[in-house]
Structure 1
Amino acid sequence: MDRRVEQVANHPLHRHLGIQDVESDAGGGRLSVIVGENTVNPAGVFHGGVLYMLCDVCAYAGLLSRLDDVTEAVTHDIHVSVMRVANPGDTVVFESTPIRVGRRIAFIDVSARVADRVIAQARVTKTLIEARA
């Protein structure tokens, strides 16, 4: 696993939320999480803020496989459409697909699914910058 992808997988917040199976290949990403006590809202379903964040994390993780060691990506814009809820015990799988990766900006689509049901779609725009030393 690439060092930066490993950092995504092992980030303390991501570990607290239960992120599993982080993958990055050809700009596409994949990760999953089981909806549990750390990821539900007061109504008892998958928390929208966690859903949005994990769409962003999946987009970033996938994009890392297309970036050189001196380029970093920061979120410029994110738009998430939630279509269905996920319930405790559900496994939510996030998959990202790069739409366009240029020299300064990248557009990535992300889907979140429970089994074969799409529960959310996102478009994430990342600005590409020089990595900090």
Structure 2
Amino acid sequence: MPADFSEVHTNVARPATSVILTVRVIKSFEYRVHRNLVLKDIDLTTATVADLKKLVLDTIRTQAGWKPYRTAVLDIMKLYTQAHGSKTTNLIMNFDHDEWILAEEDRPLVELGFENETEVSFFSREAYDAFKLDPKINWE
């Protein structure tokens, strides 16, 4: 380990068995309604996309601050960004790279490219496809 911790990139500062992930739970693309859920101590070597979805849905169902999201349809995840990676200019979602959609729910997250400080979006696939066809923002 380097003498100065600032020389360590945050994406490799923690072991794959205890990372921090941010899940961007998207309720509406048109109104840019989303909320971030920070998850700590996630084991990327054993956790799958299905496990991550269940964890987020359980949080939404049980924690008071998530009540407005309980009626949202959430059925698909997509990588948003990773630590030290480039981010999209769209404030709600990266609409390019459809290959980043996490359709294989039974694979460990580490096999899908997750690292410490990875951000992933959780949203309705139907709403995503509709918004891509007509990317109209209603709050402006």
* Normalised TM-score (structure 2): 0.27
* Normalised TM-score (structure 1): 0.28
Which protein has the bigger helix share? 2
Q: Which has the larger radius of gyration?
A: 2
Which protein has the bigger strand share? 1
Q: Which structure has more RCO (C-alpha within 8 Å, separation ≥ 6)?
A: 2
